[in-house]
Homo-oligomer: A and B are copies of this chain.
Amino acid sequence: MKSIFYTRFFILLPWILIVIIVIDIDTKRLSVRNTASFYLSRLGNVQQQRQVVRTTRSSSTSISSSSNSGSNATSLPVIYAITPTYSRAVQKAELTRLANTFRQVPQFHWIVVEDSNSHTELVSRFLTRSGLRFTHLNVFTPRRFKRTGMPRATEQRNLALGWLRGHRSVKDKGVVFFADDDNTYSLALFEEMRSTRRVSVWPVGLVGGRRYERPLVEKGKVVGWYTGWKADRPFAIDMAGFAVNLQVILSNPRALFKRRGAKPGMQESDFLKQITKVEDLEPKAKNCTQVLVWHTRTEKVNLGNEPKRQQDSVYIEV
């Protein structure tokens, strides 16, 4: 009797476990498909918001009375920096030093896209006080996409591209750049990218396990990539390594970052191949021989001594 019980138990238990795991995986796959179709359906007309996947979109734009609005500056193309961001201990610090850099860039428009269901108070307050021209958007990344090995900030970058397509026209002169919130930017970088006619590229420091990665240039044309990681990528370049003329974004309304089938490190290539070819890239930063942007990463903060219950007499935003 006992032996039969054990046999049955050992046969049934693992099968039950496997069924549970498989069901779990299947649900996740299913929702991936839903999101993909959601994005595809969104391409043409920007309308369907709440569906199977709950996505909130809201936006607010503020044009501050910037000191850069002089008559000389306004003839310059506007630099639209798209910055995805999410709540974490270092968020305000990162945004602070980013704003300190961006404040010195003439004709600058910051598109900040939060990974959240609504504008957070912290980011709203921060942007209002930043002294920068900004647009504040938000879209929540479904939890199933927040895993190791999955590309990050896809929804946020695509929402920003959608905003540009909805609010800018053929009359507007601009350059679009993807400025992650923990990288380090020199001011010179922005002057390099400002003359982008279609898609420009340059080296990025501290990326791919190397001191830098860069496009290899011969006779003013990109002919290859100096990289230590996945050298077979069509565009072996980091998100911080290129800028796109606003008109290229507008004239390629279906060009987006992919979620379906996207592999880590392939986001840039997947996007760029929709809008350009390697031979058409415009090398900047002295034929791609200067590092003007660094792929810095900030350590996750140790909050091990944070008291469980609020022990301080006041609430302080950090």
Contacts and interface: CB of A to CB of B under 8 A. Distances in A.
Contacts of A46: none
A192 to B, nearest CB: 15
Given A203-B316, A299-B299, A305 B104 contact: no
Contacts of A274: none
A206 B297 contact: no
A305 B228 contact: yes
Best-buried of A205, A290, A317 by chain B (most CB within 10 Å): A205
Contact of A303 (B187, B211, B289, B291): B211
A289 B317 CA distance: 9
A302 B209 contact: yes
B306 A148 contact: no
Contacts of A312: 214, 226
Nearest to A207: B301
Nearest to A315: B289
Interface in A208-250: 208-212, 214, 226, 228-229
Contact of A104 (B17, B100, B203): B100
A297 B15 CA distance: 40
Interface in A84-104: 89-90, 92-94, 96-97, 100-101, 103-104
B298 A317 contact: no
Interface stretch (A6-14, A155-163, A164-172): A6-14
A289 B306 contact: no
A297 B185 CA distance: 17
A37 interface: no
Given A28-B148, A94-B296, A103-B104, 4 more contacts: A11-B11, A90-B294, A93-B184, A228-B305
